[in-house]
Structure formats: structure tokens, C-alpha cells
Chains A and B, each alone.
Chain A
């Protein structure tokens, strides 16, 4: 693989296993046979490229997709997409989706007894700039109940989907909000043992990106796999 080196293995405890019974849906969907270790070949070390013709500037403002303003607390969500070597991931596609401020998705399978908002779909996308930076305008999503266990509620969250430079760097994650009292009870947030890794899923309130009289700013940096050995592998 001339010029292409492999992506690192995750630090133990920072990525979920497939089977995680506290999240009930994993039980019938997680593989039961051992995974086969795949050497990273050109197929894994290359990946799709997305262009400006697919992503328009307005796609990053979820409050301007309909005639009126959506109900809710307006927020700016911004950050950088980096790799594990702290190098920015430029011009990479970031897709987001989220519930409205009442905790409802405009989706045929969402039966939560909360109002939909005709002025909010909850879908956005953007390409990072050359520094790996992205920025969305949205409204703060609401918490909502789910049937995973009795009295289960998802903390407020925004789904993020990222590509990075390769098939092997593909990442889907969720961003949470600081101080959410539901976080300790949420099996998805608690799916990994590493506390630091969990806490990195929580955005940081940021006065610098807060727009006076307009919107609260939250920062959320995302780290994709990087090439090279992990420090742990180097020691052994």
C-alpha cells in the first residue's frame, strides 16, 4: 500500500461492543460469531468524496427550511473534525438529524405524543472547510421517551454522520448537551466504560460562538481514526 498507512485500533474502552444488553435492540442484531480481522487494503484506505453540488450553503441552517421559524431555543453548533493525530479533516461531509424542541421526529414510526413542528424537519448537512471546521444553526432538541426499559427517556441529542478520507474512517455518533440530567440513565451514552470517551460526546457551551440576542453556542469537536500506531502498541 504505497503512500497509504493503516488506521489505528481504538483505545480499549472507547468504542462500543456490538452486543450491549442494556440497549435492548442490540440483542437480536449484534453478530454472534467472532469478527474476522480485516487487513486494511485499498478498499478500506480510500473513500467517497462529496462536492459542493450536493451540499448547499442553506443546508446548514435547520431554522430556515420552511416558511416560518421553528419553535425552540435557537442554537449554533460548531466545531472541528480532526483525526487522532490532530490533523483537520477538510471538505468532508457532515450530516445531522435531530428531534424538534418537543422531542418529536417527523417520521412515520415516531409515536411520541408530542407536537410536530411544521417549520422544522431536523435534517442538515455541511462540508467542513479547509481547517476541518463546520457550523450548523438549529434549535435545541427535546428529550423523548422510548421503550427500551420502564420510564426510559433519551437525553437531548443530535445525530452526526461523518465520512473522513476513507471507508475505514466512517463514523456515526451522537452529540449531547452539558448538564443533561438524563445522561446517567441513557444506555446509549453509557455504552462504553471509558468515562473520558463518554464525556467527549457532550458538547461544551461556548459564549464565544453565542450570538447576542439570537442563539446559544455549543462546541462539539469530532475525532476520526488516524493513521499510525496507538501509543499503547508502541510500548508493547
Chain B
């Protein structure tokens, strides 16, 4: 018996009613092993305006590269504020295997939901200066000129270690995946 997946529909403008009961913007409370990082950024639309009604979900391995960790859940969810800003506190994930058993560079999977998206956008966050980025099998599929949109930048603020933005359209448009 074969069925077809239900058609995706937008979360709409009132997603907060159903989804913000569960906000996990700190994935790494005390007791979780790994290098502490914070990632902050903004979601920007095709007019360069902040998207104040977006929701981001992240999924990542623990510091050892395991997804079935008992001590680290790996799931985060945060909504953007009036300035289109979001942030997560977490740990840097370890390397996990990719196509053909080759190790991938440390990365975080991201699903982005908002009004105006009939299905979620899929993207990834990679880490600046990580030598593994050079031979990551997924980054290698991305045109070189656009790879930088997937790699976070070292942040300027005292409390922000990394900055990574979701640019929906235009010259610096974030790379989105079909998965």
C-alpha cells in the first residue's frame, strides 16, 4: 500500500498560539558536555525588512557526534522578535557521517517556518574556521560563491559568539536545500 505525503501548508501569522508553548533556545544547560556557543541572527525578507513572525527549529548532534544522546537533546526552537532577531545557546556539535560514510564538518540543521512559506525552508549552520569545512561533502555541493551563507561569522558582541542570518532573497540569499 502506498500513500502520498500530506500537502504542506503555511504556519500563517498566528503560529505563536500553537508553537511557542515550547521554546528551547538554550540547548545546553549545566551538565551537557561540549564547547559552549551562542548563535544569534536575524531573518530578513526580499525588501530587506526584518521578519518578525518566523520560527526556527534546529537539530544537531552532541559534542561526540551522536544524535541519540541521552544527555543532550539536540533540538531547539525559537521565534523571531520585532527586529527579526533570534538566538540559541548550545554546544558545538561533533562530526557525523555523511554520504558514502565520509565524515561531515560540524553543522546544525535548520528548519525555518513563517507566513508566506507554504513549506519550511531547510538550511544548515557551519562553523567559521573549522578545517573540516574544506572537505565537507554537503558544502562541496554548494556553489563556492554562496557557501559563505551557510557558515556563521564570529560575532561582535560580548555575549554572542557567532552570528548567522537567514536572508530570504537577493545577492546574499542564504542557501536553502531540497532534502
Contacts and interface: CB of A to CB of B under 8 A. Distances in A.
Interface stretch (B10-18, B33-41, B83-91, B151-159): B10-18
Nearest to B22: A54
B4 A106 contact: no
Interface string A198-226: 10110000000000000000000011111
Interface stretch (A68-76, A81-89, A127-135, A177-185): A81-89
A107 B116 contact: no
Interface of B is mostly: loop
Interface size, A (range): 35 or more
Contacts, number: 226
A197 interface: yes
B59 A43 contact: yes
Given A31-B173, A39-B138, A192 B45 contact: no
B117 A26 contact: yes
A23 B173 CA distance: 21
Contacts of A27: 46, 116
Interface string B60-94: 11000001100001110000000000000000000
| Most B-side CB within 10 Å, residue of A11, A37, A171 | A171
Contacts of B75: 47-48
Interface in B80-116: 96-99, 104, 107, 109, 111, 113-116
Contact of A44 (B14, B116, B179): B179
Contacts of A16: 7-9, 118-119
B12 A35 contact: no
B4 A14 contact: yes
A67 interface: no
B59 A48 contact: yes
Interface in A3-41: 8, 10-11, 14-18, 20, 23, 25-33, 35-41
Nearest to A9: B178
A106 B17 contact: yes
A15 B8 CA distance: 6
Interface residues of B, number: 68
Contacts of A46: 59, 67-68
A20 B15 contact: no
Contact of B107 (A11, A43, A96, A226): A43
Contact of A14 (B7, B120, B146, B175): B7
Interface of A: 1, 8, 10-11, 14-18, 20, 23, 25-33, 35-44, 46-48, 54, 82-86, 95-97, 99, 105-107, 109-110, 121-125, 159, 161, 167-168, 170-174, 188, 191-192, 196-198, 200-201, 222-226, 231
15 contacts: A31-B169, A39-B137, A44-B109, A48-B73, A54-B22, A84-B4, A105-B14, A109-B13, A123-B21, A159-B9, A188-B10, A188-B118, A191-B9, A200-B7, A222-B6
